[in-house]
Amino acid sequence: MNQINIKRGWVLLLAGAVITGCVSKKNPYISGIEDYIERLQLTDVLLVSDHTLPHHLNLSTGGANGEERLFIDPTIASLSAKLMANGLHTYTLNVEDMITNGEIENKEVLDAAYARYDKFLRAAVEMSATIIAIHYDADFISPEEYGTNATYASADEDGRQFGYVGGIQIILDKRAVSEATLKLVERIIQEDKILQQLHAVGFRIRPGYADEIRFQENQTMHIAGASKGGAFLLEIAPLDQAVRLFKTPDQVVNAIEKPLSSLAQTIRKFRNASVD
């Protein structure tokens, strides 16, 4: 049996298991997932936005200023077009896609959407997709606002002390890091200098991570990082800094055309060399 047939059989089994496990009288708003998962047969790169939309319920899920998706979505659209121009098949996964009406209005729906989203990610890992999560980071957070969260070290910028100084960085979760993920991220940071290209646009690199991976617990990377196609979470820029410099989401995306084109080429070269 050829590889495509093996994948198709596995996908259909997984789709059945997901549907059986998730559709219930308690959660009638969950959308069917068969079509989503079957598309993974033809997907080289899965692009994910794991934050909720600004007008949806935000239980620390809306990202920077609760508005991160306003910048994430056009960035993903631009990167997807560039990946396709490099001959790669892409698919974009949004949390709200897991809900029938696309609306996340209460905690029950939120929890159900993320549970289904996680199952989709696991399917993508099994299919050896390259998984990319796009984020925009927080900017400056004062020690008083940030508190004593030990996940991050305090930092200073221009002689001022902050609880957090955000910036361009690549994030992985140590609990799930495949050899392919490490190779891909090494190529992005060290060989093709994608972080430096974003910095050249005017964005700050997170202090200490110009040529280092940031390891921290992250649910998306806890699943995606195990993929044999590689995975990473890329913080494009501090969101507030991006707004100060370029005002609108569209203008921010226009400003990062070159780094995104370079990233798409990096992904193509990596998959051609490393992924069956």
- Statement: residue 246 has pLDDT above 70: yes
Write down the pLDDT at residue 139: 86
Q: What is the CATH number of the domain that holds 255?
A: 3.40.630.40
Give pTM, 2 decimals: 0.85
Q: Answer yes or no: is 128 within a domain.
A: yes
The total of structural domains in the chain comes to 1
Q: Answer yes or no: is 171 within a domain.
A: yes
Q: Answer yes or no: is 10 within a domain.
A: no
- Statement: residue 147 has pLDDT above 60: no
Q: Answer yes or no: is 101 within a domain.
A: yes
Write down the pLDDT at residue 198: 99
Q: Answer yes or no: is 136 within a domain.
A: yes
Most confident of 8-17, 22-31, 43-52, 265-274: 265-274
Write down the pLDDT at residue 57: 64
- Statement: residue 223 has pLDDT above 90: yes
Q: Answer yes or no: is 66 within a domain.
A: yes
- Average pLDDT, rounded, for the chain: 84
Please, which pLDDT band fits residue 51 given cuts at 50, 70 and 90? Answer: confident
% of the chain beyond a pLDDT of 70: 78
Q: Which domain holds residue 262?
A: 26-146+163-270
Q: Answer yes or no: is 92 within a domain.
A: yes
DSSP states along the chain:
--HHHHHHHHHHHHHHHHHHHH--TT-TTBPP-HHHHHGGGG-SEEEEE-SPPTTS--SS-S-GGG-THHHHHHHHHHHHHHHHHTT--EEEEEGGGGBTTS---SHHHHHHHHHHHHHHHHHHHHTT-EEEEEEEE--EE-HHHHTT-TTS--EEETTEEESEE--BEEEE-TTS--HHHHHHHHIIIIIS-HHHHHHHHTPPBPTT-SSSPEE---HHHHHHTT-TT-EEEEEEEEHHHHHHHH-SHHHHHHHTHHHHHHHHHHHHHHHHHH--
Q: Answer yes or no: is 137 within a domain.
A: yes
- Statement: residue 13 has pLDDT above 90: no
